Structure 1
Amino acid sequence: MSDEGYEWSKTHSFFAKMGGFVYRGQTIDSLRFLVLVKKNEVINPFVSVQDIKDKSKSDSIGKAILTLQLLWFTLQIVVRGSRGLAITLVELDTVCMAILSLLVLFFWWDKPLRPERPLLFYSPQDVNVCPPSPSALSKAWKKPGRLDRLTDIFTCTGSEETTSMGIFDEQVRQESTRLIDKIDKHGAGIASLCATWMILGALHLIAWNFEFPTEEEKIAWRIASLVLAGGPLALFGMLVIGNRSRLDASRVERVGFEITFLASVLSVVSRVFLVALMIASLRALPCSAHQTVAWTSYIPHL
Structure 2
Amino acid sequence: MDTNTCTDIDKCRTLYDIMWTCLTTIFVCIWVSVHPNMPPQPEKISPSWCRLMMMLVALIAPEIMVAFAARQWFSAKRFSKEHKISLTHGFFYSMGGFVDTEGYPIIDEEQVTPLVLAAMKAVSEADIEDKSKRDALAKLLAVTQILRVVAQSLARWNQHLAITSLEIATVAYAVVTTFMWFFWMSKPLDTETTIQIAVENPHSTQGGTVAWFHTKDSWNAMDRFLGMLLGYSQSFDTRNLKNVPAFFSPPQDWQRVARTAFRFECAVAIAFGAIHCVAWNTKFPSMAEKWMWCLSAVVVTVVPVALLVVWDPYIPLPDWLATAIWYLAVFAGVPLYVVARLFLLGLPFTTLRSLEPAVLVNVRWEIYIPHL
Pair in the same fold by TM > 0.5: yes
Q: Give the CA deviation at 1:94.
A: 1.3
Of 48, 51, 59, 2:127 maps to 51
CA deviation after TM superposition for structure 1 residue 19, in Å: 1.1
Contact 2:277–2:294, Cα closer than 8 Å, also in 1 = yes
Q: CA separation in 1, counterparts of 2:82 and 2:184?
A: 26
Q: How much has 1:81 moved relative to structure 2?
A: 1.5
**Structure with max Cα Rg:** 1
Greater than 6 Å deviation, 4+ residue runs: 1-5, 242-248
Determine whether 1:291 maps to 2:366.
Answer: no
Aligned partner of residue 44 in structure 1, secondary structure: helix
The answer on 1:27 being equivalent to 2:105 is yes
In the alignment, is residue 279 of structure 1 matched against residue 349 of structure 2?
yes
Could you say what the CA RMSD is over the residues aligned between the two structures, in angstroms? 3.7
For 1:96, what is the secondary structure of its paired residue? helix
CA–CA distance in 2 between the matches of 1:49 and 1:79? 43
Alpha carbons 2:165, 2:348 under 8 Å: kept = yes
Question: Aligned runs of 1:5-20 on 2, under 5 Å?
Answer: 6-9=84-87, 11-20=88-97
User: Which SS does the other structure have where 1:54 is aligned?
Assistant: helix
Residues 247 and 89 from structure 1, CA distance in 2 versus in 1: closer, same or farther, beyond 3 angstroms? closer
Q: Does 1:86 align with 2:158?
A: no
* Equivalence for 1:40: 115
**Counterpart check, 1:211 vs 2:283:** yes
Q: Does 1:101 align with 2:177?
A: yes
What amino acid is aligned across from residue 13 of structure 1 in structure 2? G
Residue 58 of structure 2 corresponds to none
Q: CA deviation at 1:195?
A: 2.4
**1:270 aligns to what?**
340
Given that 1:57 and 1:112 are in contact with CA atoms closer than 8 Å, whether structure 2 keeps it comes out as yes
The 1-side partners of 2:193 and 2:239 are apart by 14
Q: Percent identity?
A: 31
Alpha-carbon distance change, 261 to 214 in structure 1, aligned in 2, over 3 angstroms: same
- State the 1:188 CA deviation: 4.1
Question: Judging changes above 3 Å, is the alpha-carbon distance between structure 1 residues 22 and 40 closer, same or farther for their aligned structure 2 residues?
Answer: same
**How many Å separate the matches in 1 of 2:315 and 2:355?**
48
Give the letter aligned to residue 193 of structure 1.
Answer: E
Is the aligned partner of 1:112 residue 2:188?
Answer: yes
Q: Is the 2:269–2:304 contact (alpha carbons within 8 Å) kept by the matching residues of 1?
A: yes
Aligned pair partner of 2:152 in 76, 94, 99: 76
Indicate if the aligned counterparts of 1:21 and 1:27 stay in contact, CA closer than 8 A: yes
Name 2:265's counterpart in structure 1: 193
2:311 and 2:189 map into 1 onto residues whose CA distance is 34
The aligned length equals 248
Change (3 A) 1:45 1:296: same
Deviations 1:261-285 (A, max 9, x none): 5332111111222334333322321
Q: Which amino acid aligns with 1:19?
A: G
State the alpha-carbon separation in 1 of the partners of residues 240 and 169 from structure 2: 47
Looking at both structures, which has the greater relative contact order when contacts are Cα pairs under 8 Å and sequence separation is at least 6? 2
2:186 and 2:274 map into 1 onto residues whose CA distance is 28
| Cα-to-partner distance string for 1:170-211 (whole Å, 9 max, x where unaligned) | xxxxxxxxx946444643443333223211101101112222
Q: How has the CA–CA distance of structure 1 residues 121 and 268 changed in structure 2, closer, same or farther, with 3 Å as cutoff?
A: same
Deviation at 1:242, TM superposition (A): 11
| 8 Å CA contact retained: 2:120, 2:197 | yes
Unpaired segments of 5 or more residues in structure 1?
A: 127-148, 154-163, 165-178
Cα distance change, pair 14–224 in 1 and its aligned pair in 2 (3 A): same
1:43–1:122 contact (8 Å) kept in structure 2 = no
Report deviation, 1:2: 7.3
Structure 1 contact 14–111 (Cα < 8 Å) conserved: yes
Letter in 2 for 1:17: S
Larger mean CA deviation between 238-247 and 228-237 belongs to 238-247
Q: Please state how far the C-alpha of 1:294 moved relative to its aligned partner.
A: 2.3
State whether residues 201 and 229 of structure 1, in contact with CA within 8 Å, keep that contact through their aligned partners in structure 2. Answer: yes
Once the two structures are TM-superposed, the CA of residue 45 in structure 1 deviates from its matched residue by 1.7
Q: Residues 138-217 of structure 1: matches in 2 within 5 Å?
A: 180=251, 182-184=253-255, 186-217=258-289
| Aligned residue identity for 1:266 | L
